[in-house]
Amino acid sequence: MIIVGRVNDTSQEGFILLGFSDKPQLETVLFMVILSFYILNLIGNTVIILVSCLDPKLHTPMYFFLTNLSFLDLCFTTSVAPQLLVTMRSKDKSMSYDGCIAQLYVAMGLGSTECILLAVMAYDRYAAVCRPLHYAVIMHPRLCLSLAVTAWLSGFGTSLIQCSLTIQLPLCGHNTLDHIFCEVPVLIKLACVDTTFNEAELFSASVFFVVVPLSLILISYGFITQAILKIKSATGRRKAFGTCSSHLVVVIIFYGTITFMYLQPGKRRSEDQGKFVSLFYTIVTPLLNPLIYTLRNKDVKGAMRKLILRKTTG
């Protein structure tokens, strides 16, 4: 449970999310794009979850984690997109204080969880490629469940800490957010006191949840690359690389945008840049994940064809 510190009159007034309201034509175009992306995101990630659950051949650690990622992406986009779409189509750009804090907690918790989950998926690929004979023993169901639970708990645990620190900052009546949704760096900038501690603490948490997992991912792929290069068969090398390439593409896209938002000094980043970067990793990236995994994965495409044929013939 989040203890909400109600400072001044902000709790009664709520917040004003400016979004792209200063660019009406762009806002209209973005509304259609975001709505389309959100619908496709719901469909794509739901399909991956259903296919992974219904096809017995996909009951493996890799697809267990992929199911977690798809469910996480569904929740991540849903925590931002509906409110953003309503705000963009309404003259009233306000958002309640409690709604903003809830969005702050959920969105950051899901983003932090994804950082850890992508590192766990890299470890799974390392075990599959570098320790194929011991893969079933290493990635046993109990360990997979423990790793997934750890990712979720650590993500929402750090979000609870960050949100608790952020909502204690006095805003002195400032309630206009020049952003697309409630996000910790944006609320910190709104405070009317020295925020050095909050910025340092957020940077430290970002290093732990971005730099450390990314370093582990790169180390895993270093070992994976060595193992693949030792495979004499060209077909074997392609197959081994194919099991990892989709995950690597997702990692590059997600960590690239999240690093820009949380590890770059705020003074070097323009408001519009921050909006588009946040838009990318909350709306675009969750849609790219199912596209990447379905278009580049023969197992998923095969399972989808089987389910479609079974439904049409049944």
Is 233 domain-assigned? yes
Residue 291 within a domain:
yes
Q: Kindly report the CA angle at 250 between 233 and 112, in degrees rounded to 5?
A: 135
258 domain residue, yes or no: yes
Q: Which amino acid is at 234?
A: A
CATH number, domain at 97? 1.20.1070.10
pLDDT digits (tens, 9 = 90+) for 281-309: 888 888 887 777 766 667 777 777 777 77
Look at residue 71 and tell me if it is in a domain.
yes
Query: Any long-range contacts for 191-195 (C-beta under 8 Å, 24+ apart)?
Result: 193/169, 195/169
pTM of the model: 0.86
Tokens of 287: 């849609």
**E strand or H helix at 196, and its extent?**
helix 196-206
Single-letter code of the amino acid located at 268: R
Kindly state the average pLDDT of the residues 177-183.
Answer: 88
pLDDT of residue 4: 41
Answer whether residue 274 is part of any domain: yes
Instruction: Find the domain containing 36 and state its range.
Output: 10-313
4 in any annotated domain: no
Express each pLDDT in 73-128 by its tens digit: 999 999 999 999 998 888 888 889 899 999 999 999 999 999 999 999 999 989 98
Instruction: State the pLDDT at residue 262.
Output: 76
Number of domains into which the chain is organized: 1
> 264: pLDDT confidence band, cut at 50, 70 and 90?
low
Mean pLDDT, rounded, of the chain: 84
Residue range 142-168, pLDDT digits in tens: 999 999 999 999 999 999 999 999 988
